[in-house]
Amino acid sequence: MAISLSTEFLSDIQSRNTALIPVIKIGNLYISTNSSVDYLPLLLSVPSLKESIDLETRKYKISSVNLDVSNYPYEGKRFSERFPDSLNNSPVDIYWVSPSTTIDTGALHIYSGKVRKYDHDDEKVKIVVEDRSQATLHKDLPLPDNWLGSEEVPDKYKNKPIPMVFGHVDRSPCVVGANKKIKIDSEPITQLLNNTNDAFNEAISPLLINVDDSYLPVLEAIEEDLTEGQYEINDGDFDVGIDGTTYTVAVGDIQWEQPSAEGTVNTTSPNIIIKSTLLRQNSILQCKAYHKASSVEYIDNDTNFEENLLPDNVMSGLSDNSNDIIAFSDDATFSYAAESGFDPYMATLAKLNIYTDKYSCGTILDFTINNYI
């Protein structure tokens, strides 16, 4: 809570003797350590305030105040008798009052809270007051406005919460809302980060589709027409193309875009829009995945193509996460007797076989995006 000092209070504390007294308002009752026509002299000690924030763990310790109040009869009534109902949740305000100020004019308001618990006997009332920030800081997340509805939302994401992203999150989960808009967060984000494939010196798309625990980067723009003219123009419900007409995918067509964030500085939109392309109309998105081979073998003519000649250090280098160049040489030979009148012919000296099982091709080919976007 920001502290602002009134002119009267500031003037009073400049003097050599500062006659400050604590005044506590509980409900509509004022008590203090001093007697006055404005408050009752029932406070037994000056309250101390303490709160803390742990910057390393990001934990905030809510401040609390313990009050000791006299419960001896004063003006014919005990303190506990002045509250016919429970004290719990009663508002509490603490002030410092100087000679030139009152509660209403210039006193320093230093604390606001609520009574959390209390107990008493015939001599004393013990009251525990907790900072009101408990009620302010506590929020059930996600907030009510940060949930997807059910209208025009794909079944998979109906009534799901919109993610809340803090910091840099690799492969941050997204949801798909109305109008098939991919939502990263409910608030503007700083940016989408591209990874880089060092071997090919290419940027890897930040938009990924998860297929059987593998992630396929969705190209921002179509790089190659792989359809061989087998698809028709379709709006999702019925064909709108001309029967018998072959349509081709336009290389360079944008598959997705991230709109700009309106009214913000140094941020971008938390939404991604899937654009309408021939592939999208047929429930397809073109992806480009990078991965190293699961196994490699080099076989040559001298061993009848039966023995892998790659040494262990080369094999490990081909399957680690490094893209350094690996040197390997082979002196395979092939001999034949040339006869007069015969043309020269090609001979296979060696074969390099590359195997991969990173993704199941059947799984990928059968995967469609109808249920997602």
| CATH label of the domain that carries residue 77 | 2.40.10
Compute the C-alpha angle 285/206/167, nearest 5°.
145
Does 193 share its domain with 272? yes
Domain that holds residue 330: 295-357
Does 282 share its domain with 144? yes
195 within domain boundaries: yes
113 touches 132 (CB < 8 A) = yes
**How many distinct structural domains can be found in the chain?**
3
Return the beta strands (E) in 37-87 as ranges: 52-54, 59-61, 64-70
Which residues 6+ apart lie within 8 Å of 31 measured at CB?
Answer: 23, 24, 39, 40, 41, 42, 43, 69, 79
The whole-number pLDDT of residue 41 equals 93
Tokens at 234, concatenated:
């379709």
Compute the C-alpha angle 363/367/372, nearest 5°.
145
372 within domain boundaries: no
The whole-number pLDDT of residue 294 equals 73
The whole-number pLDDT of residue 238 equals 43
Whole-prediction pTM: 0.54
CA dist 191 to 184, 260, 269, 288, Å?
A: 11, 11, 8, 21
The residue from 260, 289, 318 where one domain ends is: 289
178 within domain boundaries: yes
Does 212 share its domain with 106? no
Choose among 22, 1, 36: nearest CA to 107. Answer: 22
The residue from 289, 316, 348 where one domain ends is: 289
The whole-number pLDDT of residue 194 equals 81
Does 84 share its domain with 30? yes
Q: What is the rounded CA–CA span in Å between residue 277 and residue 254?
A: 8
Question: pLDDT of the chain along its 373 residues, tens only?
Answer: 556 788 888 888 887 778 899 999 998 899 999 888 889 999 998 887 766 666 676 666 667 889 999 999 999 999 999 988 888 889 999 999 999 999 888 999 988 889 989 999 999 999 999 887 666 666 778 888 889 988 888 888 989 999 998 888 889 999 998 888 899 998 888 888 888 877 778 888 999 988 777 788 999 999 888 776 666 555 444 444 455 555 677 889 999 998 876 655 667 889 999 998 888 877 888 888 777 777 788 888 788 888 888 887 777 777 666 666 667 776 766 665 555 555 655 667 788 887 766 554 444 444 555 444 5
